[in-house]
């Protein structure tokens, strides 16, 4: 990572962005559409003595916001793709941001996990939502993974799932060569209540027969 110019897409409050900066990257840029999140990220970076450039922009406008073909590494973390309606447009954006030979690294919630229903009283796991990309699923989320007492003031959202093959095919079509993919049985929050168990280091796994559920996946890829 030393000496690389790195972009964190959909950086939110910048915790992963800060980790990238601490790895010795020459320059780190975080991009997010949310002004409050960007402000929180900047405050965190200043508290930690890190030099990070934060840019407010919609993801699909990233090239116009930060410039094209300039990054050695584009990183995206869990919970980024589920807000995007068009995975092919995302892949084209990533490709346009990377220098030739530049790399993508991502970890994301598995589309199988996103397709499951909310925790049920009987503990049964049910496939309720689409696995593949659709026009989006309207949801009302009263509480999120961060502990809070009052329900969210604006609970309505639209969630988009993208099948694993759809993500890989989109990258290939955009000129990004897949070099590694792994599926994992853990996820860094508890999405299924009592059906999950804490396995340490902030990760949760299905309590009974964890091999039934791929919870996250990681992809490494290089722009050809």
The pLDDT of residue 146 is above 70 = no
Structure confidence at residue 148 (pLDDT): 64
Structural domains in the chain, CATH included, are: 68-223 (3.40.50.150)
CA angle at 59 for the pair 55 and 65, rounded to the nearest 5°:
45
Q: Whose structure tokens read 């690294």?
A: 105
3-state secondary structure 7-20: EEECCCCCHHHHHH
Structure confidence at residue 14 (pLDDT): 96
Query: Which pLDDT band, with edges at 50, 70 and 90, does 3 fall under?
Result: confident
Number of H helices, E strands in the chain: 6, 12
Structure confidence at residue 57 (pLDDT): 97
Nearest to 15, CA basis, from 25, 30, 26: 30
CA 224 to chain centre: 23
Structure confidence at residue 120 (pLDDT): 80
SS3 64: helix
Phi and psi for 64 in degrees, rounded to 5?
-65, -30
pLDDT tens string 149-191: 677 777 788 999 999 999 999 999 999 999 999 999 999 999 9
Nearest to 90, CA basis, from 106, 109, 101: 106
What rounded mean pLDDT belongs to the chain?
A: 93
Structure confidence at residue 140 (pLDDT): 75
What's the mean pLDDT in 3-24?
Answer: 95
C-alpha distances in angstroms, 175 versus 169, 172, 199? 10, 5, 37
pLDDT tens string 74-131: 999 999 999 999 999 999 999 999 999 999 999 999 999 999 988 788 878 899 999 9
C-alpha distances in angstroms, 201 versus 148, 182, 183? 21, 19, 18
pTM of the full structure: 0.92
Query: Which pLDDT band, with edges at 50, 70 and 90, does 145 fall under?
Result: low
Rounded to whole angstroms, the Cα distance separating 216 from 107 reads 7
| Least confident among 128-142, 145-159, 184-198, 202-216 | 145-159
User: Which residues contact residue 172 at a Cβ distance below 8 angstroms, ignoring those fewer than 6 apart?
Assistant: 178
Q: How many percent of the chain have pLDDT more than 70?
A: 96
């Amino acid at each position: 990572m030393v000496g690389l110019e790195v972009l964190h897409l959909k950086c939110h409050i910048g915790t992963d962005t800060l980790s990238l900066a601490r790895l010795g990257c020459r320059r780190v840029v975080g991009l997010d559409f949310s002004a409050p999140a960007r402000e929180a990220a900047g405050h965190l970076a200043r508290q930690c003595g890190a030099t990070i450039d934060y840019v407010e922009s919609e993801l699909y406008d990233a090239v116009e916001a930060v410039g094209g073909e300039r990054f050695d590494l584009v990183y995206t973390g869990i919970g980024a793709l589920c807000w995007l309606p068009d995975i092919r447009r995302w892949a084209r954006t990533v490709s346009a941001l990377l220098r030739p030979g530049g790399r993508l690294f991502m970890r994301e919630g598995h589309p199988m996990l996103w397709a499951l229903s909310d925790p049920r009283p009987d503990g049964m796991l049910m496939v309720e939502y689409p696995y593949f990309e659709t026009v989006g699923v309207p949801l009302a989320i009263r509480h999120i993974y961060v502990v809070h007492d009052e329900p969210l003031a604006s609970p309505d959202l639209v969630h988009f799932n993208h099948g694993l093959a759809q993500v890989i095919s989109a990258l290939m079509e955009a000129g990004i060569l897949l070099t590694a993919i792994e599926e994992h049985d853990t996820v860094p929050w508890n999405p299924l209540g009592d059906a999950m168990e804490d396995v340490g280091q902030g990760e949760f796994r299905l309590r009974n027969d964890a091999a039934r559920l791929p919870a996250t996946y990681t992809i490494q890829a290089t722009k050809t």
